[in-house]
Chains A and B, each alone.
Chain A
Amino acid sequence: MSLYNNHTGSRAGKTARNTVIVVLLLLFALATLFPIYFMVISSFGDPVEAGAVSYSLWPGKFTLESYSFFFNYSEYSYRWILNSTIVAGAVTVTNVFFATMAGYAFSKLRFKGRGVLFSILLAAMMIPYQVTQVPLYILIVNTFHIENTFSALILPGLVTVYNIFLAKQFMSSIPTEIMESAKVEGCSQFQIFFRIILPLSKTVMAVIAILTFMDSWNTFFWPFLVTNTMDMQTIQVGLKNFRFANTTYFSPMMAGATISAVPMFILFFSLQKYFLEGVTVGAVKG
């Protein structure tokens, strides 16, 4: 027995009910996916000026010219993708490493001030980013003088509180006995972490990696603030230039938008399980 009466009523009634449900879900899915669909099909159109475009819902023509237009438009088009990959990759690696380390310490080790320190970290999640944006900008640009470098793009995201929280939540379910017996066998904490904790934490490491990479790849605001030459921009910032320089070219712009989204789509479809699992960690109380 559950919310829906699966056992009572006729089989035909149940089939009819589920059919209606699926149709409704498909209709709403169509509306939700429409922008993505429109983006992809429009990117295969001719790179003509917007005035000459008839916005159609069906591809009248299939050509990759808008893609080459996008890559030829700026000598930095490839560079933007490379920069995004470098920044998102670096941020992902450091987050997986440092967040699992901190998560392990907060969930399994006893040291003075552990509770207080963790609460202070958590408090950060409630502060709107608008509060830190100005001082952070001043710190990076006026104090450290590292604007327009990879350091400026990577350092503030080195490890985030949210990821520490995820790691801690996950690791508190690993039985402490395992670590104790490893200790009795003569393992150092370092060995315990690398030989026991990390292999047991693959799921949460994957979740952290994926969510961090997605966040970092899609982020627009910070790279937009701290880069000032085209060669240091990430793909999201590059897209924005493209818009202002080339507002009139519709298809190439959609090609650029598609290019910026496709890596995430590919990751999503290959690692869907971790994406969907990651969403519920910390949000649902069982």
Chain B
Amino acid sequence: MAQSAQTVKKRKIKGDGVWGYAFIAVALIVYALFTAYPVFSAFLISFQEYKPLGSTYIGFDNYTATFKDDLFWKSIKNTLVYTVLTVPVALLLSFLVAIMILPLRKKLQTVFKAVYYLPVVASGVALSLVWLWIFDPMPGGIFNQFIGWFGAHNQNWLGSSATAMFSLVIMAWLSSHGASIIIYLAALLGIDDSYYEAADLDGASFLQKLWHIVLPSLKPTTLFLLVTAVIGSFQVFQNAYLMTGGGPDHATTMVGLLIFDNAFKYFEFGKAAAQSLILALIIALVSLFQFKFLGKDVDY
């Protein structure tokens, strides 16, 4: 689909301008009302102490208060820790699985793709309920039983600030690599065989081919997956909210959860809006940084 799109000449039909506007009208209205206006509105609200009946303009107070707020910095730190622990492992696991699926017969490939994609399809709320029980602090809890086989003592996984973040990380390691596995596999299948043929003539080993052909060819895909995974991880909210509520002792308060709490628990809409804009800026900077330093020799 996308491949042939590149080759087709970009010719457009002339003289149907009105139809063009008619066809995008609904999309534009929805966009203007439910995306563009809210973004604009977030800017305004971030400078206000929001009240349903007449807000007061308070300048940069929401921003300065945020920068002085220890909890805000802690939530940024938690989000960073979570991202650094989960994203690289998720990418590596997806890559390894895709590489292993590659030599199998077509039928078997499809079976494994489906198997690994299945958890993506399940509802996140349902899965977090399941994980709550897996991490049950009683000695009978599944995870405690599991580590018991290795002689470890049972822990209060989600209830202790020493292990709560780690528990969320384990959960991320073992769920939902389905999409990136499939994307990696598609990219692997897209590598031209002539590279391997040339390498074989030179007597290259499997590892040499992996290092000199596969890794460079997959760089754009890796960059794409990395950037989207980091963006997703910075916005993480649901798991922390449903599993730990940010506790214990704010050990798992991610910045997305902090913004949610400020908005819908304490009804500090102005503060939440300011923090969400800071988050947007951080995400933009981190993405830019990744493109700049990792995307150097990637051409699109």
Interface residues of A (CB under 8 A from B): 1-6, 17-18, 21-22, 24-25, 28-29, 31-36, 38-39, 42, 50, 53-55, 57, 98-99, 101-102, 104-106, 108-112, 114, 117, 120-121, 124, 126-139, 142, 155-156, 158-159, 161, 164, 169-170, 172-173, 175-176, 179-180, 183, 189-190, 193, 203-204, 214, 217-218, 220-221, 225, 235-236, 239-240, 243, 250, 253-254, 256-258, 260-261, 264-265, 267-269, 272, 275-276, 279-286
Contacts and interface: CB of A to CB of B under 8 A. Distances in A.
A130 B274 CA distance: 10
A54 B1 contact: no
Nearest to A225: B264
Contacts of B11: 176
Contacts of B249: none
Contacts of A225: 264
A221 B257 CA distance: 12
A175 B272 CA distance: 48
B137 to A, nearest CB: 11
Interface of B: 1-6, 8-21, 23-24, 26-28, 30-31, 33-39, 41-42, 45, 50, 52, 93, 97, 99-104, 108, 110, 112-119, 121-127, 129-134, 136, 140-142, 145, 174-175, 177-179, 182-183, 186-188, 190-191, 193, 196-197, 200, 206, 209-210, 213-214, 220-221, 224-225, 231, 234-235, 237-238, 242, 256, 259-260, 263-264, 269, 272-273, 275-277, 279-280, 283-284, 287, 300
Contacts of B115: 29, 32-33
A214 B30 CA distance: 21
A164 B168 CA distance: 34
A279 B35 contact: no
A207 to B, nearest CB: 10
A246 to B, nearest CB: 11
Nearest to B272: A134
Contacts of A279: 117, 178-179, 182-183
A39 B41 CA distance: 42
17 contacts: A1-B197, A2-B193, A22-B104, A55-B133, A57-B142, A109-B16, A130-B276, A131-B277, A131-B279, A135-B273, A139-B41, A169-B2, A189-B19, A268-B114, A275-B121, A283-B221, A284-B221
Q: 7 closest pairs, A vs B, by CB? A: A286-B3, A111-B20, A257-B126, A105-B23, A135-B38, A135-B41, A110-B12
Given A3-B210, A138-B41, A250-B133, A117 B28 contact: yes
Most chain B beta carbons < 10 A, residue from A109, A132, A137, A220:
A109
Given A55-B145, A102-B24, A110-B20, A170 B1 contact: yes
B238 A220 contact: yes
Most chain A beta carbons < 10 A, residue from B13, B110, B142, B209:
B13
A124 B16 contact: no
B8 A175 contact: yes
B235 A129 contact: yes
A146 to B, nearest CB: 13
